[in-house]
Chain A
Amino acid sequence: MENKHIKTLNQANLKQSAVKGGCGECQASCQSACKTSCTVANQKCEKKQ
């Protein structure tokens, strides 16, 4: 969505992902400093769309 005052960057599908998700095939994601990983946000979903 875009208008003069607000531009939305993404489709915001987090809710949908909760319903479809939880298959657990995705990579583990340690967020500590000793392993490179950080936020889970950068992990890929393994489920075929």
Chain B
Amino acid sequence: MIHKYRLNGYNICLDVHSGAVHILDDTAYDILDYCSENMGKDVPEKVYEELGGKYEKKEIEETYAALYELFENGQLFSPDDYEQFADMMTRAPVKSMCINISHDCNLRCEYCFAAKGDFGQGRCLMPLETAKKAIDFIIANSGTRKNLEVDFFGGEPLMNFDVVKKTVEYARGLEDKYNKKFRFTITTNGILLDDDKMEFINREMNNVVLSLDGRKEVNDRLRVTPNGKGSYDAIVPAYQKLVSQRTDKDYYIRGTFTKYNLDFTNDVLHMHSLGFDQLSIEPVVSDPKLDYSIKYEDLPVVFEEYEKLAKTIIDSRKKGDYYNFFHFMIDLDQGPCAIKRLRGCGCGNEYVAVTPQGDIYPCHQFVGNEDYKMGNLNDGTFNTDMKNMFAMSTVYTKENCRDCWAKFYCSGGCNANNFQYEGDIRKSHKTSCELEKKRLECAIMIKAALAESGDETDCDGEDCICSCL
């Protein structure tokens, strides 16, 4: 299977099953329509008949030969032989956990999927004892996996920061004994950040995700306090301070765009102008009936905006101005192995979420959905049948994904969104699919543009584009 598209003046072809990306001239792009899984060495007659008026015979022959060479090398129409690996992870250990350390929040963001902080379950904080049991659970269920990820999430985790600190301390104390390495992440709305918390976060958290929607008017429209006041002025200086002291650990400034700011390129640029260079703005996923929702019919406008952002990023990089937009990050060479790509997030299998009450769910977005409760830390229950059901959910068991060109980059999308909006974890959520595919097209095009210009000024070591040439 291939996916060919034109974007920003580039003719691009992704060979889905090998992962090869080709940039084609117009001749090759046109002739590609006459090639297939069964292509032969000789130019099909139809090519001469239909393209003969447009291109010289010699040029057609030469181009077809080049395409055939790619085919022979397994880089064009390469066969799909991944299904055999699809059940390789049924007995995978649990290695990542989202600890909902606080089911309470000090903001009331309009679009919050967690029902404004409490997941519809009443406001409460996780007791330290439960948090310790969560750490014990992941150690006990992680088999021989060394790297364990724990994400402090909520609600707003800083509202229960003392427990966060003690949990980290507890986990660190067990690392040597069990030969584990914890990687902690925390996601915060910034309201309660102070020097002490910043110091701790910068020391202990491998990644910190700082919520901000971009421009002040955009942020303050939806990210508000319980009495309706905007949060921008309180959080931006705190984020700037935290990031300036962060050294080499990861962080993201992350926002959500809604129908109200479909011109979100301006929000990305605004974040950058505040001194941040690790940026992420993601589309709100919500009930289409809500005012701020991005609906299927909004997609053309969003697509145009993604293209605009992609071009803006290319221009900036050419000028040596580097910032990273999370959704356009793609590593065409050293990305994750195909096994991982078959099922992506690993929710309910390698990844679980726990609540202040000790309940275990497949992931943070399933929290509160009784049908998907997997067990409880306090009574030691854990539903392995459900775990296996999630493990078996791959791009080969999701009917739309199997033949989707984006399957190895998207990995089948978000099970929780599928369930919430399509009623089945295996039915892909159409709006999300279209957005995902557009972002991928843009991400690959950015690679093409930077490769063409031979521009290496964006080299920051890790994502250096020159490494993929």
Binding site for B on A (CB under 8 A): 1, 3-15, 17-18, 20-47
Q: In the bound complex, do residue A21 and residue B337 qualify as a contact, i.e. CB atoms below 8 Å apart?
A: yes
Chain B 22-46 near chain A by CB (<8 Å), digits 1 or 0: 1111011000000000000000000
Judge if B283 is at the interface, Cβ distance under 8 Å: yes
B124 beta carbon closer than 8 Å to chain A: no
Task: Given the known inter-chain contacts A10-B468, A34-B364, A38-B326, please indicate yes or no for A45 contacting B336, CB distance below 8 A.
Answer: yes
Set of chain B residues within 8 Å of A45, measured between Cβ atoms: 334-337
> Among the listed A8, A18, A38, which residue makes an inter-chain contact with B282, where contact means beta carbons less than 8 Å apart?
A38
Question: B23, B339, B409, B447: which contacts A22 (Cβ < 8 A)?
Answer: B339
- A4 contact set on B, CB distance < 8 A: 25, 62
- Tell me if B386 counts as interface (CB < 8 A to partner A): no
Interface size, chain B (Cβ < 8 Å): 91
In chain A, what residue has the closest Cβ to B257?
Answer: A33
Instruction: Write the nearest CB–CB distance from A47 to chain B, whole angstroms.
Output: 8
Extra 15 A-B pairs, beta carbons < 8 Å, given A22-B340, A30-B351, A40-B335 = A1-B69, A1-B73, A9-B21, A12-B21, A15-B81, A18-B339, A28-B149, A28-B351, A31-B410, A31-B413, A35-B151, A39-B409, A39-B443, A40-B341, A41-B330
Distance A14 CA – B21 CA, assembled complex (angstroms): 12
* Cα–Cα, bound, A3→B327 (Å): 31
Of the A-B pairs whose beta carbons lie under 8 Å apart in the complex, a sample of 6, sorted by A's number, is A9-B23, A13-B333, A31-B411, A38-B326, A39-B411, A40-B335
A32-B335 in contact (CB<8A): no
From B20, B73, B89, B153, give the contact of A10 (CB < 8 A).
B20
Taken together as a complex, chains A and B put the C-alpha atoms of A6 and B469 apart, in Å, by 14
Which candidate, B91-99, B235-243, B299-307, is the interface stretch facing chain A? B91-99
The contact of B335 among A7, A34, A42, by CB within 8 Å, is A42
Give the contacting residue for A15; candidates B62, B78, B330; CB below 8 A.
B78
Are A14's CB and B70's CB within 8 A?
Answer: no
Q: Verify if B15 is at the interface (C-beta below 8 Å from A).
A: yes
Interface centre among B147, B149, B282 (most CB of A within 10 A): B282
Q: Tell whether B19 is near chain A: CB-to-CB under 8 Å.
A: yes
Most buried by A among B20, B89, B335: B335
Which of B88, B337, B448 has most chain A Cβ within 10 Å? Answer: B337
| Chain B residues whose CB sits within 8 angstroms of the CB of A32 once the complex forms | 285, 345, 365, 414, 416-417
For the complex of A and B, 9 pairs with smallest distance between CB atoms: A21-B337, A12-B20, A14-B19, A42-B329, A22-B339, A28-B96, A18-B338, A17-B337, A10-B332
From B85, which residue of chain A is reached at the shortest CB distance?
A18
B103 within 8 A of partner (CB): no
Residues of B within 8 A of A31 (CB): 344-345, 410-411, 413-414, 436
In the complex, the answer to whether A24 meets B350 with C-beta atoms within 8 Å is yes
**In the complex with contacts A8-B20, A39-B330, A29-B345 CB distance below 8 A:** yes
Please report which residues of chain B, range 198-229, place their CB below 8 angstroms from some CB of chain A when the two chains form the complex: 209
B440 at the A/B interface (Cβ < 8 Å)? yes
Q: Which residue of chain A has its CB nearest to the CB of B351? A: A28
Task: Please tell me if the beta carbons of A9 and B345 are within 8 angstroms of each other in the complex.
Answer: no
Contacts of B149 in A (CB 8 A): 27-28
Q: Which residues of A contact B113 (CB under 8 A)?
A: 34
Q: Which residues of B contact A20 (CB under 8 A)?
A: 337
Is B356 in the interface zone, CB < 8 Å from A? no
Minimum CB distance partner of B409 in chain A:
A41
Give every chain A residue within 8 A of B440 (Cβ-Cβ). Answer: 39, 41
A17 lies within 8 A of B338 (CB): yes
| Option from A36, A41, A47 in Cβ contact (under 8 Å) with B331 | A41
CB closest chain-B residue, reference A27: B149
Scan residues 226-261 of chain B and give those whose CB is less than 8 A from a CB of chain A: 252, 254, 256
Assuming A10-B332, A45-B337, is B24 touching A5 (CB within 8 A)? yes
**B187 sits at the interface (CB 8 A):** yes
Contact B70 A6 (CB under 8 A): yes
